[in-house]
Amino acid sequence: MHSNGWRINMFGDDTWLKLFPDYFSKTDGTASFYVSDFTIVDKNVTRHLDYELSDEGKSQWDCLILHYLGLDHIGHKGGPGSSNMPVKQFEMDSIVKKIFHDVLEKNENTLLVVMGDHGMNEKVMIGIMELKHQWNKTQILTIFQKLIKLIWCPR
């Protein structure tokens, strides 16, 4: 997409900015390794939605990437049974619904991708500590790219 001249805006996990420093037209990165933060990291992404999903905002990008961290942080700190999990899942559901209503219902020639980069088990650490001696730093960094990524491209 970048090679084809697409205007890509990215909000969320600043790992993207470190890995692809010159790929994005507009960015707002959030530090990803402070896993005790379940709220601010996501508010820093969501605060851009109203503008980016407005007609003016949508005219300024070809692809929009939103990388939410809060759900992943809750999983790492408290596991899937954390009391923080249902509220955060409801928040993420609301965001996906907003994107669906503001973008997909108005332009059916739109691709919405919602994905996670890893699962979650009861051990909370998701096996990372077991892998650290076998994998190089680049592979470990890739594992830490966070749980919720929303990517849509209206071309």
Q: Which residue has the higher pLDDT, 129 or 7?
A: 7
Helices 70-78 and 85-99: crossing angle, nearest 10°? 160
Tell me whether residue 147 is exposed, middle or buried, using C-beta atoms within 10 angstroms of its C-beta: 0 to 12, 13 to 18, 19 or more.
Answer: buried
Reported as a single tens digit per residue, the pLDDT across 42-86 is: 999 999 999 999 999 999 999 999 999 888 888 888 888 889 988
Q: Mark out the alpha helices in 20-68 (DSSP H runs).
A: 40-46, 49-52, 55-58
Return all residues near 17 (Cβ < 8 A) that are at least 6 apart. Answer: 10, 24, 27, 29
Residue type, 26: K
Does residue 134 have a pLDDT over 60? no
**Taking all residues of the chain, what is their mean pLDDT, rounded to a whole number?**
78
Residue type, 41: V
Q: How many CA atoms lie within 13 A of 42 on its CB side?
A: 24
Mean of pLDDT values over 124-151: 42
Mean of pLDDT values over 91-96: 90
Q: Which residue has the higher pLDDT, 20 or 134?
A: 20
Radius of gyration in angstroms for the set of CA atoms belonging to the chain, rounded to a whole number: 16
Q: What is the value of pTM for the model shown?
A: 0.76
pLDDT-based confidence at residue 119 (cuts at 50, 70, 90): low
